[in-house]
Amino acid sequence: MTEALPMAGTPANANLAGLSKNDYRGNPSTLCQGCGHNSISNQIITAMYEMNVVPENVVKFSGIGCSSKSPTYFLNRSFGFNSLHGRMPSIATGALFGDYHLKGIGVSGDGDSASIGMGQFKHVMRRNVNMVYIIENNGVYGLTKGQFSATAEKGLSLKKQGENPYMPVDICMEALVSNATFVARSFAGNPKQVKELLKAALAHNGIAVLDIISPCVTFNNQENAYHSYAWGKDHEEPLQEISYIAPRNEIMLEREMEAGEVREVAMHDGSIVILKNLEKGYDTSNRYEALRVMEESQRNNWLLTGLLYLDTTKPNLISRYDLVDTPLNRLTEADLRPDRSMIDKVNALMF
């Protein structure tokens, strides 16, 4: 993803791809001021810029919702597809098969992924499609005026909706039990962590789920609500301090921290994710541990953030297939047409 573009007159603040931050921006946002989704879009722009990503090598996907509108607000130079409600995973799977050299970035909502799109969400996890899958989680259907979503906490009381009687869906748990290979939770009110997690997610070779609590300031931002800024700020418990180190940077790590409390994870592209554990001895490669800390945080009313689980050893979807180098969407008739004898085989199969 880091090949440089031949560009004349490279701007002064250019990154290694020869691009300025403006090359990563989208249209001006039409979302409400203060919406968590906007701050996530900004971090996507910054992360992509800092990672020297070439926008033409990225495809954006989304479903339906305020969150799903946001791909318009970053990476104007990339292809994008605003799909049907809850159907982003199948669109993304298809497009990324069409050209497996591309990196996918999907933005969905809690309604889009945990209600109507739950089935597709589960399958894109287990297939380990090579994409970043962001859920901008606000506990409501923001776009349709604030109905409870499947991630709203039991007992949440909203003026126009009454009280939510149901237990919530935990997106990270769902991802984990569906065999996702990168599972993280973050909070739009913690932009630094969002950015570092985004970079790690982009470097991951497979599905990277980011469940980002992203307050809806218009419909669900009361102080005592799980998805509000105030509650998040008071209850956030980060698992680690996370720093992403790009492949080319030969930064010497400070070794001041006690051994065992700093973990370096080598990513597929040669980059390194440094996790300074705040929770003693937390091991991101242990699924059981991940489930345990999630359960614990639920019981204690914490907003647990950070990289919950990471497995860099599993093959991504594409590598399970013996594909040619040429992107499938560029194959010509000469490449594609089966031999005439194939029809006899097909006919023989009928008996």
Ligand X SMILES: Cc1ncc(C[n+]2csc(CCOP(=O)(O)OP(=O)(O)O)c2C)c(N)n1
Which residues contribute to the site for ligand X (CB under 6 A)? 64-67, 85, 109-112, 116, 136, 138, 140-144, 149, 216
What is the rounded CA–CA span in Å between residue 157 and residue 165? 10
Please say which residue, 107 or 143, places its beta carbon nearer to ligand SF4: 143
Q: 311 is written with which tokens?
A: 């497995």
Contact 64, 21 (CB under 8 A): no
H or E element, residue 308: strand 303-310
Given 17, 59, 156, 294, the residue binding another protein (CB under 8 A): 59
Please say which residue, 144 or 326, places its beta carbon nearer to Mg ion: 144
- Scanning residues 80 to 119, which ones bind another protein (CB under 8 A)? 80-82, 84, 95, 98-99, 101-102
Q: Which residue of this chain has its Cβ atom nearest to Mg ion in the complex?
A: 109
Instruction: State the minimum distance, in angstroms, from the CB of residue 85 to ligand X.
Output: 4
Phi–psi pair at 2, nearest 5 degrees: -110, 15
Q: Does 60 bind another protein (CB under 8 A)?
A: yes
- Scanning residues 114 to 143, which ones bind Mg ion (CB under 5 A)? 138
Q: Does 209 bind another protein (CB under 8 A)?
A: no
What is the rounded CA–CA span in Å between residue 256 and residue 267? 23
Please say which residue, 23 or 174, places its beta carbon nearer to Mg ion: 174
Q: In the complex, which residues of this chain contact ligand SF4 (CB under 6 A)?
A: 31-32, 35, 37, 66, 138, 142-143, 216-219
Q: Does 313 bind another protein (CB under 8 A)?
A: no
What residues contact 121, with CB distance under 8 A and at least 6 apart?
Answer: 86, 89, 108, 113, 114, 174, 175, 178
What residues contact 134, with CB distance under 8 A and at least 6 apart?
Answer: 40, 105, 106, 107, 108, 210, 212
Instruction: State the minimum distance, in angstroms, from the CB of residue 54 to another protein.
Output: 8
